[in-house]
Structure 1
């Protein structure tokens, strides 16, 4: 048979058509199957009109090739029943028969819904060509359906994204103004009373609790505000200016030491100063989040190490802590919002799971990278790789980060 008489099998993305072959003679079914197999479609065989009706209940078909003369339900009656069903009313039917060449009989076949009437012996090339037309129509129809479904899903996704964006903007307004304003009044009042020096011991404790709770709420408001900002527009906003990263590290470490007098944060800097152009307030936030995380998830008796070193256009900062490693299955999701590590119940109550997410957002806004490695033997280390200028090109690859990194020495 010439290759041009039929198409190549459909590709992976093209839906396959199902073709129903109906004949009570097995040899005829085998002959039809051999003729149509090169089309690369799914061929379903039925040996009676009743069996054909059952197959039509199980799935969709591109067309039906059906013998007219069959015992029980003949082809014409089967076609009438097919046309009576809403789902199969317009399904193309091609009659194949060696008998009844009279015009009246053929007209009756067309009246029952046939789209063609082929007399045996059927020319294989002509049969494949006719069937290919209905296969192409079916495939195009399925592709249109698929595109319509994809379009509906895309519109739903866009509408959901729009609603999420509107909700985030509303959240930004709530946490940025509606909560912050009354909270500042509460904190100002509590601190004013505490500084007055005229409180009874019970009142002193009460206002201390109010101040601590207010500061905790203030911290949550700041986290939610940063989270919402990072999700809107182009990410976390930063305002770079010249400054010393080591000085920022010392100030943050001193503040955390005061808050946790039983813990030791050891600063190992390769140089006394580490100058660059960054948003220093945001970098202080990153360092604080990393140090707080290290203190939270390490043994009370262990130290936390904060290290910095530099290359010509890139600076590095590491925060290392000892203790149990981060579980392997948590590592790919560690920087996702509202994710927590293996926290105790008390730690879970004091954490929103936004610290690392915001830290990475700030670092990426500086065109830097924040990564983590964790093992039983080596503990957990967060590494920050940062261009010396926030508007510089992205830093070097991970491989070059590790190569030639000078051993930090004590400041």
Structure 2
């Protein structure tokens, strides 16, 4: 059993067509191979009808060129067996023979499934032209099959996407209403008891635990709602209003200082105020997430630095910590949903891995950019670049980050 060179692709991404050459005389096979080589297809050589049948079990072919007179299974018998198999029933067979030109013999060949009957000596140009026709038909058929498969896969993907979208909308309704409503009752009751009732120490602790747990559930509900909104394609909505970004930074830093009284957040602002038009509540959410992460992943004895500065059409915010660097393999996926950095068991339990995903979505809703750099020598720095006004989206522009380092001064 002889084979030509291995199968490669040509004319786009379709594989080369395979042509089966069957003759018991090696010289005839070599002659056919030389004639058909210019077509650039894969030529598979077989020296008997039995070998040809085995090759047909191994793969698909565009056509078969077969000698009639061969020992064992001759060409006509081999053609009968090929036609008897469902998979090869319609495979084009061209007989090549030096036998008589009598009409009865030629007719017999067609009766056994031949699509053409060539007598030796074969004209090379005619043979190549005939084979090229079957190669083109085979490749068109293969292309149609691929297009049908791609169309079916695309339809399946669209249907799956539609089902996923419907499920996300249902989940958003459940999270947004069916959980929020009873949760608000639980939180209101706990806070009311803590504010107005004279409670025994055991009851005080119990209501405090209920309040903390309820607030944690509320945070999770908010994150899942934001995540679902962003996944549904509309992005996270922002409602811009005029405000002072530096003042917002001070407020968020003060709140975190109350929650973590032993930690230091150093505010370095290039000027006392930084006015613009942004959704301040959403930006507070972003700043709280970045600062909380910085405090969580840095040594207790180190300070976290919060810096701001400005350019003519943009403002910048950086949150820096001196903790261990983020692993390089994690950096490309850091803002993906449900991804977390290396954390302790307690930190992992307290995080869904959605904080940075939501933070980036909020910044991008302002037509801004959130990026990160991290190394052993410099620590980890998250940088926010925002347009001066959140309505910059209408101009389709995004401020580019300046390469020059800021020159902050203590506020």
Instruction: Name 1:125's counterpart in structure 2.
Output: 125
Cα drift, residue 299 of structure 1: 1.1
**Superposition map of 1:173-184 within 5 A:** 173-184=173-184
Distance 1:327 1:10 in 2: 43
Could you list the per-position Cα deviations for residues 6-61 of structure 1 after superposition, in whole angstroms to 9, with x for gaps in the alignment?
A: xxx94232331100000000110011001111111100000000000000000000
**1:22 maps to what in 2?**
22
Match of residue 143 from structure 1: 143
Alpha-carbon deviation of 1:102? 1.7
- With normalisation by structure 1, the TM-score equals 0.96
1:66 matched residue in structure 2: 66
**1:94 counterpart residue number:** 94
Tell me what 2:165 maps to.
Answer: 165
CA contact (8 A) 1:266 1:304 kept: yes
Q: Tell me which residue corresponds to 2:4.
A: none
Query: Normalising by the residue count of structure 2, what TM-score does the alignment of the two structures yield?
Result: 0.96
Unaligned runs of 5+ in 1: 1-8
Q: Which runs of 4+ in 1 moved over 4 A?
A: none
Query: What per-residue deviation string (whole Å, max 9, x for no partner) do you get for residues 246-295 of structure 1?
Result: 11111111111101111111111111110001111111111011111111
Is residue 268 of structure 1 aligned with residue 268 of structure 2? Answer: yes
Contact 1:368-1:394 within 8 A present in 2 as well: no
Matches within 5 A, 1:48-67: 48-67=48-67
Distance (Å, rounded) in 2 between the aligned partners of 1:283 and 1:58 = 63
Q: Partner residue of 2:253?
A: 253
Aligned to 2:297: 297
| Residues 322 and 380 in structure 2, CA contact (< 8 A), matched pair in contact too | yes
Aligned equivalents of 1:374 and 1:183: distance in 2?
39
Q: CA deviation digits over 1:80-114, x for unaligned, max 9? A: 00000010000000000001322111111100100
Q: CA deviation at 1:171?
A: 1.3
- The structural deviation recorded for 1:141 is 0.2
Question: Is contact 1:299–1:323 with CA below 8 Å preserved after alignment?
Answer: yes
Which region of structure 1 is more displaced relative to structure 2, 292-301 or 71-80? 292-301
Contact 2:313 2:399 in 1 (8 A): no
Equivalent positions of 1:94-113 (< 5 A) are 94-113=94-113
Q: Is the 8 A contact 1:223 1:354 kept in 2?
A: yes
Other structure's SS at 1:198 match: coil
Task: List alignment gaps of at least 5 residues for structure 2.
Answer: 1-8
Q: Could you say which residue in structure 1 is the equivalent of 2:5?
A: none
Verify: 1:397 aligned to 2:400, yes or no.
yes
Which position in structure 1 is the counterpart of 2:212? 212
1:143-180: CA deviations, max 9, x gaps?
00000010011111111111111111111101111100
Aligned-CA RMSD value = 1.1
- CA shift at 1:396, angstroms? 3.8
Q: Distance in 2 between matches of 1:89 and 1:11?
A: 27
CA contact (8 A) 1:26 1:47 kept: yes
How many Å separate the matches in 2 of 1:389 and 1:43?
67
Q: Is the 8 A contact 1:270 1:408 kept in 2?
A: yes
- Are 1:116 and 2:119 an aligned pair? no
Corresponding residue of 2:309: 309
Q: Distance in 2 between matches of 1:177 and 1:193?
A: 24
1:201 Cα shift?
Answer: 0.5
Q: Provide, for residues 317-372 of structure 1, a one-character-per-residue CA deviation record: whole Å limited to 9, x for no partner.
A: 00000111000000000000000000111100000000000000000000000000
Residue 3 (structure 2) aligns with? none
Aligned residues: 400
For 1:4, the equivalent position in structure 2 comes to none
8 A Cα contact 1:338 1:353, kept in partner:
yes
Query: The residue matched to 1:397 in structure 2 has which SS?
Result: coil
